[in-house]
Amino acid sequence: MNLCYNDDIVTLYNGDARDMSQLPDGFADMAFICPPWWDSGDYDHPDQIGLGQSYAAYLSSLEQVWRECYRCLKPGRAIVAWVSDLLWRDEPAPLVADTHHTLRQSGFVYDATFYWYEPRPSASETPSPGWPLQIRPRVHAEVVVVYRKPGSCAPPDRERLEKSRIDGREYAGSRQAVWMPGGALDHPYRRVIRLWSYVGDTVLNPCAGQGTVPLLARHEGRRCIAVELNPDYCLHIAELLGAPDLPEELR
C-alpha cells in the first residue's frame, strides 16, 4: 500500500482492501465499509472487487476483506457493512444474506441489522394492475449489517464517554429498525460512526470510494485509516481532506 495522505487524524492508503498486511493487528476500534455491490458499479480499476468477477469470486473477495478487518479489529469491536440485495437484475443476487454468511465464516459474531429506506415520489398516474409472481420492491432498502469480533473491550474513560454521548432524540430514532431521512438524522454514515465508536477511536475504512467515511469520522472526533484501490479516487479524497470544511452535501 502507498501512503497518499496523512495528518494527525486521517491516514489514506492507495491499496487493495483484500491485503492490508501493512496495517498492524488489533489497532482498529471499528471497521466501516460500503463494498462494491458485485458488478453494479464500475470503479475504474482493472483489479476492482466485483465488476468482471463471477458472483462466487466476488464473495471470495469480500471474505478476504472481512478477514483482514477481523485481524485489524480489537476484540469486542464492531464491523459495519452497508450493502443491498441486487433486486434489479434479471436474476437477483441475495447479497445481504451472503454478507451475513461470509462475515460469520470470517469469525465475526452477529449483532444487529438496520435498514436505510429513502422514499421516492410516487407516480401521479393511476396505478396499473399486476400479476402474481412478478412483484419486486420499486424502491429497495439498503441494509446496515453489524457484527462484532469475539471478545471484550475496555470501556473508555469517563471524559471520552461523555464526549461520545448521543443526543436522546437521535438515539431513540437509531433504535428503530428502519432509518429514513429527516428528523434527527443528517447523513446516515455519521449516525453509524457515532453509534459504533467513541470519540478518539480509530475507524478502519476499506474501499474508501469518495472519502465520505474518513471525512465524517474526522468531523466526529474519530481517527480514520482509509484504503482505496483507485489512485485517482485517492487524489480526490486527499483534496477533500485538505479543504477547511466538509463538502456541502455532508454538512
pLDDT at 125: 63
Distance, in Å, from the CA atom of 108 to the CA atom of 148, rounded to the nearest integer, reads: 5
Q: Are strands 178-179 and 109-116 parallel, antiparallel or unpaired?
A: parallel
Side-chain-side CA neighbours of residue 12 (13 Å) = 29
pLDDT at 229: 97
Q: Which long-range contacts (CB under 8 A, 24 or more apart) does 52-58 make?
A: 55/93
CATH class, range 2-120+139-250: alpha beta
Residue-wise pLDDT tens digits, 154-173? 899 999 999 999 999 999 99
pLDDT at 40: 85
pTM listed for this prediction: 0.94
Domain boundaries, the chain: 2-120+139-250
Q: 241 exposed, middle or buried (CB, 10 Å; 0-12, 13-18, 19+)?
A: buried
